[in-house]
Amino acid sequence: MPQFTVVSVHSGVTVTTVRFYSTTGGELVEKRSWAEPYKIKMVELIKMTTEEERKAAIVEAGYNTFLLKSEDVYIDLLTDSGVGAMSDRQWAGIMMGDEAYAGSRNFYHLQKTVEDYYSYQYTVPTHQGRGAENILSQLLIKEGDCVPGNMYFTTTRLHQELAGGTFVDVIIDEAHDPNSTHPFKGNVDFGKLDALLKDVGSDRIPYVCIATCVNMAGGQPISMANLRELRVWCNQHGILIVHDMTRVAENAYFIQQREAGYEALSVQQIVHEICGLTDAATMSSKKDAMVNIGGFLAMNDERLYERACELVVVYEGLHTYGGMAGRDMEALAIGITESVQDNHMQARVGQIEYLWEKLESAGVPLVRPCGGHAVFLDARAILPHLKQDQFPAQALAAALYVESGIRAMERGAVSAGRDSKTGQNRLPKLELVRLTIPRRVYTQAHMDVTAESVVRVMHRASEVRGLRFTYEPSMLRFFQGRFEECDS
Ligand SMILES: *Cc1c(COP(=O)(O)O)cnc(C)c1O
Average pLDDT over residues 192-207: 98
Q: What average pLDDT is seen over the chain?
A: 93
Active site residue 254: no
Q: Is the CB of 226 under 6 A from ligand 1?
A: no
Does the reported pTM lie above 0.85?
A: yes
Is the model's pLDDT at 13 over the cut of 90?
no
Distance separating alpha carbons of residues 255 and 98, to the nearest angstrom:
37
CA of 270 to the centre of ligand 1 (A): 21
The confidence score (pLDDT) of residue 118 equals: 98
Q: Is 305 a catalytic residue?
A: no
Residue 4 has pLDDT above 60, yes or no: no
Contact 282/251 with Cβ under 8 angstroms? no
**Model confidence band, residue 421 (pLDDT cutoffs 50, 70, 90):** confident
User: What is the rounded distance in angstroms from the CA atom of residue 431 to the CA atom of residue 181?
Assistant: 17
Lowest mean pLDDT among 252-256, 292-296, 333-337, 473-477: 473-477
Q: Is 415 in the pocket of ligand 1 (CB under 6 A)?
A: no
CA of 69 to the centre of ligand 1 (A): 22
Report domain extents, the chain. 51-80+343-485, 88-342
Q: CA nearest 77: which of 86, 87, 62, 66?
A: 66
**471: how many CB neighbours lie within 10 A of its CB?**
11
Q: pLDDT digit string (tens) for 304-361?
A: 999 999 999 999 999 999 999 999 999 999 999 999 999 999 999 999 999 999 999 9
Provide CB contacts within 8 A for 448, sequence distance 6+: 358
Q: Is 358 a catalytic residue?
A: no
Judged by average pLDDT, the poorest of 5-19, 105-119, 306-320, 364-378 is 5-19
pLDDT score of 488: 65
Q: Is 156 in the pocket of ligand 1 (CB under 6 A)?
A: yes
- Determine the average pLDDT of the residues in 352-375: 96
CATH number among 1.10.10.10, 3.90.1150.10, 3.40.50.1000, 3.40.109.10, domain 51-80+343-485: 3.90.1150.10
Terminal Cα distance for the chain, rounded? 41
- Tens digits of residue pLDDT in 256-295: 999 999 999 999 999 999 999 999 999 999 999 999 999 9
Residues 410 and 414: their CA atoms lie apart, in Å, by 7
Q: Residue 31: its pLDDT value, please? A: 67
Is residue 452 scored above 50 in pLDDT?
A: yes
Return the CATH number of the domain spanning residue range 88-342: 3.40.640.10
pLDDT in tens, 76-103: 999 999 999 999 999 999 999 999 999 9
Q: Is 154 in the pocket of ligand 1 (CB under 6 A)?
A: no
Q: Is the pLDDT of residue 190 over 70?
A: yes
Query: In 124-203, where does DSSP find H-type helix?
Result: 129-140, 154-162, 190-200
Percent share of the chain, pLDDT over 70: 93
Instruction: Tell which one of 287, 293, 436 to mutate to probe ligand 1, the residue whose CB is within 8 A of the most ligand atoms.
Output: 287
One-letter amino acid at 91 equals: W
Q: How many CB atoms lie within 10 A of CB 254?
A: 29
pLDDT range class, residue 27, cuts 50, 70, 90: low
